[in-house]
Amino acid sequence: MQIGYFTERPYRWVPEEELFRNQAYFAVSNRFFDRQKGSDDYNYYLDENCYAEELGFDAVALNEHHGTPFCMGGVMNVEAAILARITSKVRIVLVGNPLPVIKHPLRMAEELAEIDLISRGRLVAGWVRGAGSEQFFNNANPAYNREMFNEAHDFIIQAWTRPGPWRYEGKHFRYRHVNPWALPYQKPYPPMWIPGVLSLETVKWCAEHRYPYVGLGTAVGPTCDLWDFYADEAQKLGYQAGPENFGYLIPTFLAETEERAQELGRGFVYGGGQNAFSRPEHTLPPGYNSKEAIRRLAKAPGGSWLGVSADKLRQGKEGRGDENNYDEVRQKLLVAYQKAQQAYQLIIGSPRTVLPKIKTLLEVLRPGIFVTFAVQGPVSNKDRMTSMRLFAQEVMPALRDYAKEIGLRDPIERTPGSVPIASDVSRVPVVERGPLAALGLR
Amino acid sequence: MPKWDEETVRTGGVDLVMVKGGSGKPLVILHDELGYTGWMTWNERLAEERTLLIPQQPGFGKTPRLDWIQDYRDLGAFYARMLREMGLEGIDAIGFSAGGFIAAEMAAANPKIFSRMVLVAPMGIKPAAGEILDFFSLTIRTHLRATVADPVTTVEFAKIYGGEMTPDQFEAFEDARTETARLGWDPFMHSPSLPNRLEGIRMPTLLVWGQRDGVVPRGCVEAYKDVLPQAQIAEIAAAGHRPEIENAAEFARVVKNFLSA
Inter-residue contact A41 to A378 (CB < 8 Å): no
Domain for residue A199, yes or no?
Answer: yes
Task: Give B140-209 as a 3 state SS string.
Answer: HHHHHHHCCCCCCCCHHHHHHHCCCCCHHHHHHHHHHHHHHHHHHCCCCCECCCHHHHHCCCCCCEEEEE
Res B35 pLDDT > 50: yes
Q: Tell how strand B205-210 and strand B232-236 pair up.
A: parallel
Inter-residue contact A293 to A201 (CB < 8 Å): yes
B178 Cβ neighbours under 8 A, 6+ residues apart: A143, A286, A287, B59
Record: contact B137-A281, CB cut-off 8 A: yes
Rounded mean pLDDT of A245-260? Answer: 98
Q: Is B139 on the interface with A (CB under 8 A)?
A: yes
- Amino acid at site A289: N
- What pLDDT is recorded for position A307? 40
> What is the chain A residue with the closest CA to B167?
A298
Q: How far apart are CA A414 and CA A191, in angstroms?
A: 12
Q: How far apart are CA A280 and CA A318, in angstroms?
A: 8
Asked whether the CA dihedral A80, A81, A83, A87 is positive or negative, the reply is positive
Q: How far apart are CA B204 and CA B116, in angstroms?
A: 5
Question: A33 burial class (0-12, 13-18, 19+ CB within 10 angstroms)?
Answer: middle
Residues of A in contact with B178 (CB under 8 A): 143, 286-287
The pTM is what? 0.94
Residue ranges and CATH numbers for the domains of chain B are 4-260 (3.40.50.1820)
Q: Tell how strand A59-62 and strand A246-254 pair up.
A: unpaired
Distance from CA of A129 to the nearest CA of B (A): 16
Q: Phi first, then psi: give them for residue A158, nearest 5 degrees.
A: -65, -45
Q: Is A27 on the interface with B (CB under 8 A)?
A: no
Res A300 pLDDT > 90: no
Q: Tell how strand A97-98 and strand A213-216 pair up.
A: unpaired
- What pLDDT is recorded for position A233? 98
Residue environment code for A216-234, b if the CB has 16+ CB neighbours within 10 A, otherwise e: bbbbbeebbbbbbebbebb
Domain for residue A317, yes or no?
Answer: yes
Inter-residue contact B121 to B216 (CB < 8 Å): yes
Q: Tell how strand B205-210 and strand B114-120 pair up.
A: parallel
Record: contact A285-B141, CB cut-off 8 A: no
Length of chain A: 442
What is the pLDDT of chain A when averaged over all its residues? Answer: 93
Res B148 pLDDT > 60: yes
Residues of B in contact with A137 (CB under 8 A): none
Dump pLDDT digits (tens) for A31-40: 999 999 999 9
Record: contact A316-B139, CB cut-off 8 A: yes
Res A317 pLDDT > 60: no
Domain that includes residue A256, residue range: 2-436
Q: Name the more confident of B78 and B165.
A: B78
> What is the chain B residue with the closest CA to A278?
B137
Domain for residue A11, yes or no?
Answer: yes
* Count of CB pairs separated by less than 8 Å, A with B: 70
Inter-residue contact A404 to A397 (CB < 8 Å): no
Q: How far apart are CA A64 and CA B77, in angstroms?
A: 40
Res A75 pLDDT > 60: yes
Q: Is A282 on the interface with B (CB under 8 A)?
A: yes
Q: Phi first, then psi: give them for residue A253, nearest 5 degrees.
A: -145, 135
Domain for residue A217, yes or no?
Answer: yes
Rounded mean pLDDT of A134-145? Answer: 97
Inter-residue contact A98 to A64 (CB < 8 Å): yes
Closest listed residue to residue A32, CA positions, set A45, A46, A19, A43: A19
Q: Tell how strand A369-373 and strand B14-22 pair up.
A: unpaired
Q: Report DSSP state, residue A284.
A: S
Inter-residue contact A227 to A233 (CB < 8 Å): no
Q: How far apart are CA B235 and CA B164, in angstroms?
A: 33
Q: How far apart are CA B20 and CA A189, in angstroms?
A: 58
Q: Report DSSP state, residue B240.
A: -
Q: How far apart are CA B87 and CA B96, in angstroms?
A: 23
Dump pLDDT digits (tens) for A371-398: 999 999 999 999 999 999 999 999 999 9
CATH number of A420's domain: 3.20.20.30
Domain for residue A41, yes or no?
Answer: yes
- What pLDDT is recorded for position B162? 73
Length of chain B: 261
Angle at which helices A351-365 and A220-236 cross, to 10°: 30
> What is the chain B residue with the closest CA to A136?
B137
pLDDT band at A303 (very low <50, low <70, confident <90, very high): very low
- What pLDDT is recorded for position A318? 46
Residues of B in contact with A139 (CB under 8 A): 185-186
Domain for residue A441, yes or no?
Answer: no
Inter-residue contact A273 to A131 (CB < 8 Å): no
Secondary structure of residue B9 in the 3-state scheme: strand
pLDDT band at A306 (very low <50, low <70, confident <90, very high): very low
B257 Cβ neighbours under 8 A, 6+ residues apart: none
Inter-residue contact B58 to B66 (CB < 8 Å): yes
Choose from A136, A313, A315, A320 for mutation: most chain B CBs within 10 A: A313
- What pLDDT is recorded for position A64? 97
Q: Is B68 on the interface with A (CB under 8 A)?
A: no
Q: How far apart are CA A306 and CA B179, in angstroms?
A: 24
Rounded mean pLDDT of A311-317? Answer: 46
Q: Name the more confident of A304 and A267.
A: A267
Domain for residue A442, yes or no?
Answer: no
Question: ∠ CA(A268), CA(A6), CA(A121), 5° rounding?
Answer: 170
- Amino acid at site A328: E
Rounded mean pLDDT of A111-123? Answer: 98
Asked whether the CA dihedral A312, B133, B169, A133 is positive or negative, the reply is negative
Q: How far apart are CA B251 and CA B243, in angstroms?
A: 6
Record: contact A280-B139, CB cut-off 8 A: yes
What is the pLDDT of chain B when averaged over all its residues? Answer: 95
Domain for residue A335, yes or no?
Answer: yes
Residues of chain B above pLDDT 70, percent: 99
Q: Is B180 on the interface with A (CB under 8 A)?
A: yes
Q: Domains in chain A: how many in total?
A: 1
Residues 102-141 of chain A with CB under 8 A from chain B are 136, 139, 141
Q: Is B178 on the interface with A (CB under 8 A)?
A: yes
Q: How far apart are CA B33 and CA B36, in angstroms?
A: 9
Q: Name the more confident of B141 and A315.
A: B141
Inter-residue contact A119 to A92 (CB < 8 Å): yes
Record: contact A298-B178, CB cut-off 8 A: no
Q: Is A344 on the interface with B (CB under 8 A)?
A: no
- What pLDDT is recorded for position B2? 57
Nearest to A316 among B141, B171, B185 (CB): B141
Secondary structure of residue A386 in the 3-state scheme: helix
Inter-residue contact B30 to B80 (CB < 8 Å): no
Secondary structure tally for chain A: helices H, strands E: 17, 13
Residues of B in contact with A318 (CB under 8 A): 138-139, 142
Residues of A in contact with B138 (CB under 8 A): 281, 316, 318
Dump pLDDT digits (tens) for B71-106: 999 999 999 999 999 999 999 999 999 999 999 999
Distance from CA of B62 to the nearest CA of A (A): 14
B112 Cβ neighbours under 8 A, 6+ residues apart: B89, B90
As for the ipTM of the complex, it is 0.94
Q: Is A307 on the interface with B (CB under 8 A)?
A: no
Dump pLDDT digits (tens) for B168-217: 888 899 999 999 999 999 999 999 999 999 999 999 999 999 999 999 99
Res B1 pLDDT > 80: no
Residues of A in contact with B151 (CB under 8 A): none
B229 Cβ neighbours under 8 A, 6+ residues apart: none
